[in-house]
Structure 1
Amino acid sequence: MDDLNALARQQLDDAKASPHGRSAHLFLHDGPLRQTVIALIADAELNEYNAPPAASLQVLQGRVQLTGPGGSQELKAGQVAMLPHERHGLRAIEDSAVLLTAVPDVPARARGALHAAAGARG
């Protein structure tokens, strides 16, 4: 069993030592499910990238800004958000650690159900 608080602290320490100000550790990989702790020091960014078919972002520590073509959303410790299905990026407003939960390979029939569910929530 992994301790998210300890993983967040370790990744933040690694991010502070990194010339890019970021660090990530994939700690759970079960079939298509992946969970990664990502740490960014203040003002560090993850450039825009294509979103997996299903993913969420939970802020473990700090504050981050999720950016994309539809605008931006600020998230703080304790908040969780579904990631947009278009290209998006992430910027740390302050030293931050997040939990990325992603399912990068969703069968075609399940993908339609995911998009329908997302539309019903919106």
Structure 2
Amino acid sequence: MHETVNVAAAAEEELEKARTSPHGRSARALVRDGLLRHTLLAILDGQVLGDHAKPAGATLQVLRGTFVVRSETAEVRLAAGEVGVLPGPRHDVTAEGDSIGILTTVAA
């Protein structure tokens, strides 16, 4: 059986959860396939997902807003409609505007 998700509806739900969260963010797994993971992220304007390790592989596709991803050696700014590889091996993420994205990772 193939799993499908209505991304637009899920994005709105996660944004509402972020608005009621004391941390101003919310995330949920969308789909998984073996080592591949797609996670929906919603982070409110100005909120930060603190320093954390990058998985073996990670990209972020931005659906709304802008995410700024900073590592010790690089800064990647991704706006709505863009997708990019996240810098590593550690980074943090800041939202500019209420932002929604799909994080795709490969588990080690």
> C-alpha offsets along residues 63-101 of structure 1, whole Å, 9 cap, x if unaligned?
111111113222110100011231011100110011000
> C-alpha offsets along residues 30-59 of structure 1, whole Å, 9 cap, x if unaligned?
211111001000011111111111111011
1:38 to 2:54 alignment:
no
> Quick check: 1:53–1:85 contact (8 Å CA) kept in 2?
no
How does the TM-score come out when normalised to structure 1?
A: 0.82
Secondary structure of the residue aligned to 2:81 is coil
CA separation in 2, counterparts of 1:84 and 1:71? 6
Q: Please, which moves more after superposition, 66-75 or 56-65?
A: 66-75
Looking at CA atoms only, which structure, 1 or 2, has the larger radius of gyration? 1
CA separation in 2, counterparts of 1:13 and 1:5? 13
1:93 alignment partner in structure 2: 96
- Which residue identity is paired with 1:53? A
- Which residue identity is paired with 1:83? L
Secondary structure of the residue aligned to 2:97 is coil
Task: Report the alpha carbon displacement of residue 8 of structure 1 after superposing the two structures with TM.
Answer: 1.2
Task: Report the alpha carbon displacement of residue 3 of structure 1 after superposing the two structures with TM.
Answer: 1.5
Aligned-pair identity in percent equals 37
1:65 to 2:68 alignment:
yes
> Quick check: 1:12–1:23 contact (8 Å CA) kept in 2?
yes
Structure 1 or 2: more helix by fraction: 1
How does the TM-score come out when normalised to structure 2?
A: 0.92
CA separation in 1, counterparts of 2:32 and 2:96? 29
Structure 1 or 2: more strand by fraction: 2
Number of residue pairs matched by the alignment:
105
